Amino acid sequence: MEKEIQEAFQKDLERITSYQEIQEVKNKYLGKKGIVTELTSNMKDLSVEEKKEVGRLANTIRTYVTEEITKVEQRIEKEELNRKLEKDTIDISLPSEKIRRGSRHPFQRIVEDVEDFFVSMGYDVVDGPEVETDENCFQRLNVPLGHPARDAQDTFYIDPEYLLRTQTSSVQARTMQQNTEKTPIRMICPGKVYRRDDDATHSHQFGQVEGLVIDKNVSLADLKGTLELFAKKMLGENTKVRFRPSFFPFTEPSVEVDVSCFKCGGKGCPLCKQSGWIEVLGAGMVHPHVLEMGGYDPKEWTGFAFGTGLDRFAMFRYEIPDIRYLYTNDIRFLEQFDRKDEENEIK
Ligand code: DAH
């Protein structure tokens, strides 16, 4: 009987070519109604001696069958893998899917250049909130409630106390207050500002950078030297700078700063409206009242401040005709700037 089962089993094994058939053979021998199981089904009718004998025999067969099936399983597994490897060829000559590479936003390029320049001059880059108090955005900058200078900055108010900052100058007020030791300050603050404005050259959201220096014996000459270097760094070595008297409530004296037109070199063209000059910055010596409100004694300390629009620099440098392109995230627009920077490197 043992031999008969073994021979039949061997034949079954040889015929196996798939997992499916392994399962079938397994069931045929080891399943609930399988041949090996059947061997022990009438054990209860046997004598003790016979039980021992049949039990031993059944165990031997069971172990043998299990081992042999495992071997076949491994063989089939290998065969199936080989078959799969032969069939599933990979064509390594196929072009792969193009991976899009991001590029820095033109606005970000300007911010990084501005930061590099001022950090190299020993300034800190500081940050301030876009939702600001009326106090920091206006009152501490010498623009009390009802002051006519507020009209120039059409403001989004959140409530009478809070607003979306209209100028990064608000960070001047913060920095002076936060510097409780009243030590010298050299900082710039690039960031977003908001005004109720919307056309090709004005957006309700735009970027500014504010600068503030407070120390002993800071003069207008320091401001002039700093801004001249800054203009050359941003717009090219040949850039000339001129200062015109102006008014800002938080500086006295105040100036507006023009740069020679980088398109025509000052000869006159449509960009500079034939004047040869382009206005880029507001600046001045920090008003004594503003110093006082910031906790600095104006008899001891002086300072200068300046502010400029960052979008304008991006628009000039990359010849972008409409500010709204900077905020609509059109990939076709954004992809151009790596190439433009290479062609038009201003260092
Ligand atoms: N905050 C001014 C504006 O938005 C720009 C400005 C002018 C900033 C003069 C200054 C400054 O710090 O001294 O129009």
Q: Is 223 exposed, middle or buried (0-12, 13-18, 19+ CB in 10 A)?
A: buried
Tell me 148's DSSP state.
Answer: G
Q: How far is the CA of 32 from the centre of ligand 1 (A)?
A: 90
The Cα–Cα gap between 122 and 117 comes to: 9
pTM of the full structure: 0.72
Q: Is there an atom of ligand 1 within 6 Å of 167 CB? A: yes
Which residue's CA is the closest to the ligand 1 atom numbered 13? 283
Work out whether strand 124-125 and strand 205-215 pair parallel, antiparallel, or are unpaired: unpaired
The structure tokens listed for 304 are 């200068």
Residue 306, number of CB atoms within 10 A of its CB: 23
Please state, as a whole number, how many other Cβ atoms lie within 10 Å of the Cβ of residue 289: 15
Strand partners, 125: 188
User: Is 277's C-beta closer than 6 angstroms to any atom of ligand 1?
Assistant: no
Mutation probe of ligand 1 site: the residue of 132, 250, 252, 279 with most atoms within 8 A of C-beta: 250
- For every one of its 347 residues, what pLDDT tens digit does the chain have, with 9 covering 90 and above? 578 888 888 898 888 888 888 889 989 988 888 888 888 887 888 888 888 888 888 888 889 888 988 998 898 889 888 988 888 888 888 888 888 778 889 999 999 999 999 999 999 999 999 999 999 999 999 999 999 988 888 999 999 999 999 999 999 999 999 999 999 999 999 999 999 988 877 889 999 999 999 999 999 999 999 999 999 999 889 999 999 999 999 999 999 999 999 888 899 998 889 999 999 999 999 999 999 999 999 999 999 999 999 998 898 888 888 888 998 888 889 888 876 666 655 44
Question: Residue 202 half-sphere exposure, CB side, CA atoms within 13 Å?
Answer: 10
- How many angstroms separate the CA atoms of 302 and 285, rounded? 7
Q: Among 126, 143, 169, which residue has the most ligand 1 atoms within 8 Å of its CB, making it the best to mutate? A: 169
CA angle 243, 249, 254 (to 5 degrees): 15
> Which pLDDT score is estimated for 344?
57
Q: Which of 154, 167, 194, 304, when mutated, tests ligand 1's pocket best, judged by the most ligand atoms within 8 Å of its CB?
A: 167
Residues 97 and 321: their CA atoms lie apart, in Å, by: 34
pLDDT at 102: 80
Span from the CA of 341 to the centroid of ligand 1 (angstroms): 29
Q: Are 117 and 233 in contact (CB under 8 A)?
A: yes
Cβ of 170 closer than 6 Å to ligand 1, yes or no, is no
pLDDT at position 347: 46
Cα separation, 316 vs 314, whole angstroms: 5
Amino acid type, 158:
I
